[in-house]
A and B are shown apart, each in its own frame.
Chain A
Amino acid sequence: MNSPGVALADALSGQRDLLLTCVHCGLCLPACPTYVRLHDENDSPRGRLYLMRAVVEGRIDPAAEAFQTHIDRCLGCRACEPVCPAGVEYGTLLEHARAVAVTARPRPWFIRTLLGVFQRPGRTRTVMRLSRWLRASGLAGLGAWVFPRRWHTLRMGLAMLSASGGGKLRRLGRRRRAALPEAPVGPPDAYSALLDTDEEDELRPARVGLLSGCVQAGLFERVNDATGRVLKANGFAAVTPSAQGCCGALHGHAGDLEGARALARVNIAAFEGADVETVVVNAAGCGAAMKGYAQLLADDAEFATRAAAMTEKIVDISEILVRYGMRQGASVPARVTYDAPCHLLHAQGVAEAPLEMLRSIPQLELVELNGSAECCGGAGLYGITQGELGGAIGSDKVDAILETKAEAVATGNPGCMMHIGAWLRFRGARIETIHPVELVDESYRRGGLY
């Protein structure tokens, strides 16, 4: 099958060694949300890797419908990585496969437009301003409500936008609060005690950088604000260099590796300029992408070492708080459940920190979510581009959430918050979708820490 497509496979050919680490054992099959629903091995990690290998070996053309469909249908959730005994670096391979796939067949216009928007901070700001207006005016919510299902892209986009609006944090746990004795706020000297007992103290950074993000800054400013306040309350001065931009995660996942690299360079330079040893990220997708900068720019003569240094600096907000110990706020006696973002749990391997962070809140009742480790179907733009499957996965997630009878579901990634929020709305459920750090912030606020 000697077609022009074979030449396009170069991006993957460079990854031949990585591809060959797959021993075809099949242990990853049950971990894959698309395989367990579609039952076709081409929709399993092993099957997708095999398709990639077939492209590299010139057995199939990357423009082939099957290659395009199955690579597109991957959530990029990386649930296949921690279960793989051979340690196949699936996430990296997927990005390269996407790069090959899009060269062979360009993406739809709205994806290209969206990626173009996030490439430039100016354009991002304009679009975000418009989005906030749509959200605030209630038009987004209305649109999601009135548009027919077959206009999926638009309907889902608006529902997600509307769901980004934020939860009613102040009301959380109000009903039960009356019945419970007020828990004592952590003693006023708890913070200084924390400072001089912890053996990690010497390493404790006084100043940290904070990634504002594109969607996070545009639609979730309240989460960034909460992050800043919580960091400050715990003794970290957060700086947000203005030269930073979008982290490039969306570009990487969509196969626009050059776009992702350009953004990575901008951020590396921006945070080098801020002179910080730690960069805090509160969006799982961005954290995973930035921890991947070393890999992304490994072949860039000028940036390889700088990217590796940057990767070392990245921590999730939950990691930094738990690592150095955190102050205690007032009680928030709400029933809350936690959904693990794939890019925190599978891609970064951060499992316990967010839970510990939530457990530190007095009287917060944390109920386990069935299938918390499974993707919610949001997966960047997946919920929009792969409506049917994304919807099925999102709907299962909502079923599990409803089962917990929680008042709120906490998850540390804007994409997940919006996707879960949208599906909760479609189902008419009155459950708040919030970032875990917002709960800590609320607990501090109630405790009068600021």
Chain B
Amino acid sequence: MSAALSSEVTADLRTIVGDQWVITDPVRLLAYESDGLTAYRRPPGAVVLPADTDEVSQVMARLAHAEVPVVPRGAGTGLSGGALAGSDAVILATPRMNRIVHVDPENRLALLQPGVINADLTEAARPHGLYYAPDPSSQSACTIGGNVAENAGGPHCLKYGVTSRYVTGLTVVLYDGEVLRLGGLGRDSAGYDLTGVFIGSEGCFGIATEIEVRLLPIPQATRTLLAMFDRLEDAGEAVSAIVARGLLPAALEIIDRETIQAVEASIFAAGYPVDVEAALVIEFDGIEAGLDFEAEEAEGCCWEKGAREVRRARSERERLGLWKGRKNAFGAFGRVAPDLLVQDATVPRTRLPEVLRAISEIGHRYGLRLANVFHAGDGNLHPNILFDRTDEDELARVEQASREIMAVCVAAGGTITGEHGVGLDKRGYMRLVHSRDVLEVMRATKKAFDPWGGMNPGKVLP
């Protein structure tokens, strides 16, 4: 693999997609040297922007012929360095493929090109009383193609499940340009569930060029609570108590004090008290009847676990207000420190309190600022480490601490990523969670789709 990218190849790409849709100027390639995780930077050899499945297929065939690796890219909001390519590889970006082919309200399905933005799909479905359930916090910008590749989740996936539950069919282009149709309405779905296998493949199997998804009816009503705690552990226990009581909230999200302070200092100040240790956002949705009961039960759990204050939204506006701190947490860190490492690990929910304590201890020991925002209901943690990459000593401590945090999560029976994917960042941790046999099966699966090894090389597998 990895013959240098020749000007002959790029000239051919220009012929296929049109001159303006191929970027080769080194200055212009800088914009593509990172995704949402700036710790990794490497500019690609070129960027191609095809318009449809046919162009993708021709581009891939040409690149495969020249043995140039391909890396898919959606909006570049990924947080594991998955959309990065070296100078010998080409980024195939999907923003031009942003058409919603159709919304079919009767079958509650939609057919999309991969560059459609998650929130735009929900917007298009709304007139039919429908919406697309997986709601990553980046939903205003990330693409459905990227969601499929990362099997993205979001705050409401606690009740509704992640991307894989909603994708019913795919059109996929393999490295050699071959077009596969997997699953889909009215198509034969006998045999192995290849659609399922492709979801979460992080761009290593092929490029999804058409995606069929299931839509849900918009919930009739919602109840949203915000509970404040003086101890982070108490918030964690309230989460367990709510679940133990048999309630099924749509979302259970915790943000800690460091995060609250960052948000309150930003232009998105949400009015959270800055002296509490944790805030817990609880949301129920569904048919109106019964919601008040559930909300009261959950409120009871919070009081029982020592909540200092519980607020309840009385209007849509107040609801958005309660969510505001959670939704803007990530960006608010930009004001606090120049660099941010977002971790993403999952632990069994019952072990949350002890894991949180261990993480905070690690932060102290390395003298680092840590902030926690997480999908508590799923046990999906996002410890964020705030730092400045120009301080080399600090950078080294960040890497060390990050590794220890991962080890703690794995030791507690968890795994190394909840939703951001393995990409470049977590590759080294794969052996922590998977046996050699499992990794071999993964390698064989990758080979089945990409025997040439040209798709997103160097990602996921150690």
Q: Which residues of A contact B (CB under 8 A)?
A: 20-30, 35, 39-42, 44, 46-47, 50-51, 54, 59-60, 64-67, 83-88
Contact = CB atoms under 8 A, between A and B. Distances in A.
Contacts of B266: 85-87
Given A27-B77, A65-B27, 14 more contacts: A21-B335, A22-B334, A23-B38, A27-B140, A30-B140, A39-B49, A39-B93, A41-B32, A41-B93, A42-B31, A46-B31, A50-B30, A85-B331, A86-B334
Given A26-B77, A40-B28, A88 B138 contact: no
Nearest to A28: B141
A42 B28 contact: yes
B268 A24 contact: no
A47 B31 CA distance: 5
A87 B335 contact: yes
B330 interface: yes
Contact of A41 (B31, B335, B340): B31
Contacts of B32: 41
A42 to B, nearest CB: 5
Q: At the interface, is chain A mostly helix, strand, loop or mixed?
A: loop
* A-B interface, 8 closest residue pairs, ranked by CB to CB distance from nearest: A85-B331, A86-B334, A66-B27, A47-B31, A86-B331, A23-B334, A39-B95, A41-B31
Contacts of B393: none
A29 B32 CA distance: 13
A29 B75 contact: yes
7 contacts: A30-B140, A30-B141, A39-B93, A40-B23, A42-B31, A66-B27, A85-B331
B429 interface: no
From B21, B120, B267, B328, residue with most partner A Cβ within 10 Å: B267
B333 A51 contact: no
A365 to B, nearest CB: 22
A86 B76 CA distance: 17
Nearest to B74: A26
Contacts of B351: none
Contacts of B80: none
A86 B109 CA distance: 35
Given A85-B331, A87-B266, A87-B268, A25 B138 contact: yes
Contact of A66 (B28, B34, B36, B117): B28
Contacts of A25: 36, 77, 138, 141, 330-331
Given A26-B75, A26-B76, A27-B77, A85 B268 contact: yes
A382 to B, nearest CB: 20
Contacts of A30: 75, 117, 120, 140-141
A51 B96 contact: no
A85 B328 contact: yes
Contacts of A67: 27
A27 B141 CA distance: 5
Contact of A64 (B27, B77, B330): B27
A212 to B, nearest CB: 32
A26 B331 CA distance: 10
Interface in B323-370: 327-335, 338, 340
Contacts of B142: 26
B25 interface: yes
B306 to A, nearest CB: 31
B30 A59 contact: yes
A39 B334 contact: no
Contact of A21 (B28, B36, B334): B334
Nearest to A64: B27
Interface in B77-125: 77, 93, 95-96, 117, 120
A94 B338 CA distance: 20
B140 A83 contact: yes
B96 A86 contact: no
Nearest to A40: B23
Interface in B237-271: 266-268
Nearest to A41: B31
Point out which of A46, A60, A88 has the most chain B C-beta atoms below 10 A from its C-beta: A46
A39 B117 CA distance: 13
A26 B30 contact: no
Which of A24, A29, A41, A65 neighbours the largest number of chain B CB atoms within 10 Å of its CB?
A41
Contacts of B23: 40, 42
Nearest to B119: A30
Contacts of A88: 334
A39 to B, nearest CB: 4
Interface in B1-41: 21, 23, 25, 27-28, 30-32, 34-36, 38
A219 to B, nearest CB: 35
